[in-house]
């Protein structure tokens, strides 16, 4: 069975541009969450979506937005990119709408975003 897949694997953008990152969850998983991992740090929670609704949001500015589609895949959008947005963006899925603190998350390999 395929795991969580993310695209693209690498991306280079310049300051001020916007970016869309994509995530397909494990088949049968209905919840998707997004994380930002800056080099040398642990991941930071950005969003959780379940059944197309936002269930939780971390401490990120409004430049960050996301959505979930009827097939449970998800997109993370970041506008007005800053140098500090350079990071590995991880997507994770889980089977149910239970909070992400109550069930293990299955992570994808991430998208490495570099801002020049």
Partner 1 sequence: EDKVVQSPLSLVVHEGDTVTLNCSYEVTNFRSLLWYKQEKKAPTFLFMLTSSGIEKKSGRLSSILDKKELFSILNITATQTGDSAIYLCVRGGSNYKLTFGKGTLLTVNP
List residues binding partner 1 (CB under 8 A). Answer: 3-4, 33, 35, 40-45, 48, 55-58, 88, 90, 98-110
Closest CB to partner 1 among 54 and 116? 54
Min dist. Cβ of residue 80 to partner 1 (A): 25
Q: Which is nearer to partner 1, 85 or 110 (CB)?
A: 110
Q: Which CB, 35 or 72, lies closer to partner 1?
A: 35
For the bound state, the minimum distance from the C-beta of residue 115 to partner 1, rounded and expressed in Å, comes to 19
Decide: 95 and 106 in contact? Cβ < 8 Å: no
The DSSP letter of residue 59 is S
Helix runs in the chain, H state only: none
In the complex, the smallest distance separating the C-beta of residue 79 from partner 1, rounded to whole angstroms, is 23
Cα separation, 7 vs 101, in Å, equals 25
């Amino acid at each position: 069975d395929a795991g969580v897949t993310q695209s693209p694997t690498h991306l280079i953008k310049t300051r001020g541009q916007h970016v869309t990152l994509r995530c397909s969850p494990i088949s049968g998983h209905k919840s998707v969450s997004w994380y930002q991992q800056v080099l040398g740090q642990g991941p930071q929670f950005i969003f959780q979506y379940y059944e197309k609704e936002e269930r939780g949001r971390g401490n990120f500015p409004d430049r960050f937005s996301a959505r979930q589609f009827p097939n449970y895949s998800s997109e993370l959008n970041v506008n007005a990119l800053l140098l500090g947005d350079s990071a590995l963006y991880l997507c994770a899925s889980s089977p149910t709408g239970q909070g992400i603190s109550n069930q293990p998350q299955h992570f994808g390999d991430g998208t490495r975003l570099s801002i020049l």
